[in-house]
Amino acid sequence: MPQDGPDHLDDAVLAALFTQRAVGLAVLDPQLRLVHANSLVEGVDTAEYLGSRITDVFRLDDPDATEQLMKRALAGEGPVRDHLVRGRLRRIPGDRMFLVSAYRLDGPGGGDAPALGLLAAVVDVTERERARTREAALAAVRDAVGHSLDVAATCRAFVDALVPGFADLAVIEVVDEVLRGADPPVGPLPPETPLRRAASGRCGTVRDTGRAGEDARRSLDGATRRLPLRTPYALAVADLRPRLVPLTGDTPWLDADPDGARAVAESGAHSLIVVPLTLRGAVLGLVSLYRCCAAEPFDEDDVSLADAAGTRVALGIDNARRYEREHIIASTVQRRLLPQVEREQTAVETAHVLLPGRDSGCWYDTIPLSGARTALVVGGVAGEGLQAAIVMGQLRTVVQALAGLDLEPEEVLARLKDTTDRLAHERTALPAGDSLQSEPLIAGCVYGVYDPFTRTCTVARAGHPAPLAVGPDGRAVALDVPEGPGLFSADSALFAPATVTLEEGSVLALCTAELLSGDRAAERITRTLARPDRSLRQLGDDIVYALPEDTRSAGAALLLARTGAVSDHRVATWDLDQDLTAPATARALVRDRLRDWGLDEDTVEATELIVSELVTNAVRYGTPPLRLRLLLDATLTCEVHDGSTAAPHLRHARTVDEDGRGLFIVSRLASHWGARRGRDGKVLWTEQELPDGG
């Protein structure tokens, strides 16, 4: 057994420590100069560094902070453990990262005596930290990208995830047609294909060119360009492969791209990765990543990361593109299903605002009714995309059909809900794999009827906000409408109407729930409406200007109506006796009034016959009081009111029948006719088209 004492063992331990290469060891004197070291970094001769200060050996980015830590260790304040430093070595290009630990070397007197120096352990963790940076960058891309269905937001999230942690400067460009929802072209990308800059970003260390340069860079977001030929950008979208490109002052391809050369010079970029954004062989765009100034150049591992990140953002862009295309289709369907022209009403002025957004199920309508009345409708189907627009079109059609039956507002909504119940049942009957099975049906509607003769508005609502009303003096008008169940809800409660009397010149606002979101939204809208000097179009615009930003992105519908009255010169009303002389009296009254209005003889004769038949029917089958009213507007309306609620129906009389032809004759002479019930009886009415100039 060898005679090895403690001193020999210590020498053996020191020899092993200083000859192994896993950890660099350095002995520093109290002035932090290197007095002994093994190979601090593999492949570097440490003899040339002896006598140099440790902070000079590694040329640290922040030497003062590291020196202060080591001085505290010398003073006995505890060792330095795993302190990460960045610096450079003379013989190894580029930045390096080291973990430094330092321990005080005590003299014979122990901790009370001055320290002999420090023992520093140095581990080169450059590759480990670079791998960690790449992993963190890829994780940031995975976390940030894919949560938005907006192409611009997706690209912005991608740039923010990579800058500044992975790249100093990043630019993402998307094929222009893809931004509008079109299918991406199959690679290789044709040379003249325009690309639009969707997002860009730079870290604070990139060389700046002042305020003008910053403004110019911001203005480039949204700009389009065609990729210059014989450049890495054009080659990447031609063969669909990423590229690692060093940038120097004599890089030859920069001559073919003067704008790119100028940007490289201004930013100090020296390393470039170009990644084509591809998906299933189609090209969606291009990503350009730059490192500038003192940053470490990209390597092949960085290219692999950039390629993986590009795949992630390409998926996000494609999902957003598909949504954008569906949104465009849904918005187009929605527009086609809504009124295409403003309808002029007899005694009410209307205007609408339709805000485009995610919600494609909003609708509005103004429906002329008999007796110069107007139905005002606003509704919404919750959801995005084509299916919401289709359901909206179905509901709007049903409302129009029900309005033509002259039903009360609560009856219209009750029958509309019957229809939605059937639609919901049809959806539940779809195959289990149909995507519509998982999409809930939610819809609401408010339906009101304004009568200019009584100056009343009767409103009912189904899971929808009540209208807001402002009088001509600017004061809010209370309109307390009980809320009925939503159109697709399982609630079977009845709809209850509310009736309010409005002064001439009052303004009604019917809107979807999105416009009433936020603090004191109803008060804000009511205050905006209290301006009688403004047109309805201006009032609608003012309401939109005051909306929160998130409301505008959701989409909404607003219908404004200003109440009016029928001119006394355009209406005539007579009370008739309930006897056999009433038809003849009615014919004489009608003849005189229509001639006063200057109508042609054919219209006068046809109207006499219509009125005679309607009054005869009321005398035979109705009850007092008997009233006749004529209304001259775009059409000529005849109304006969009696106290009975029993409405007649059209019959086709046989050849030998002595009666039953009255309503048949009326239907031939009038363009429209019908009957509506009220609380005090019924009204038979007809509308006749007037000849030009009538």
d(CA 413, CA 395): 11
Q: Give the 3-state secondary structure of residue 383.
A: coil
147: its two tokens:
């949560």
How does pLDDT run across 351-379, given as a tens digit for each residue?
Answer: 988 887 666 688 889 999 988 899 999 99
Which of 91 and 577 is assigned the larger pLDDT?
Answer: 577
CA nearest to 263, candidates 131, 169, 360: 169
d(CA 683, CA 626): 10
pLDDT of residue 22: 65
pLDDT of residue 658: 43
d(CA 280, CA 296): 33
How does pLDDT run across 257-315, given as a tens digit for each residue?
Answer: 888 888 888 888 999 999 999 998 899 999 999 999 878 889 999 999 999 999 999 99
Confidence category of residue 216, pLDDT binned at 50, 70, 90: very low
Residues comprising the chain, all counted: 694
Confidence category of residue 1, pLDDT binned at 50, 70, 90: very low
pLDDT of residue 211: 41
Which stretch of DSSP H or E encloses residue 262? helix 258-267
pLDDT of residue 122: 82
Phi, psi values for residue 225, rounded to 5°: -150, 160
Burial letters 443-463, b for 16+ CB under 10 A, else e:
bbbbbbbbbbeebebbbbbbb
DSSP code for 515: G
Q: What is the pTM of this model?
A: 0.66
CA nearest to 471, candidates 435, 521, 506, 514: 506
d(CA 224, CA 178): 13
Return left, alpha or beta for 592; rule: phi > 0 is left, psi -120 to 50 is alpha, else beta.
alpha
Sort strands 269-279 and 243-246 into parallel, antiparallel or unpaired. Answer: antiparallel
- Contact 285/173 with Cβ under 8 angstroms? yes
Which stretch of DSSP H or E encloses residue 599? none
d(CA 465, CA 36): 83
Dihedral sign computed on CA atoms, order 391, 394, 400, 401: negative
- Contact 60/47 with Cβ under 8 angstroms? no
- Contact 561/349 with Cβ under 8 angstroms? yes
How does pLDDT run across 644-686, given as a tens digit for each residue?
Answer: 887 775 554 444 444 556 777 888 888 888 888 877 889 999 9
Q: Give the 3-state secondary structure of residue 507.
A: strand
Full DSSP string of 168-220: SEEEEEEEHHHHTTPPPPBSSPPTT-EEEEEEEEE-TTSPP-HHHHHHHHHHH
d(CA 678, CA 691): 32
Query: Residue 266, exposed/middle/buried by CB under 10 A (0-12, 13-18, 19+)?
Result: middle
* CA torsion angle 28 34 39 40 (round to 10): 70
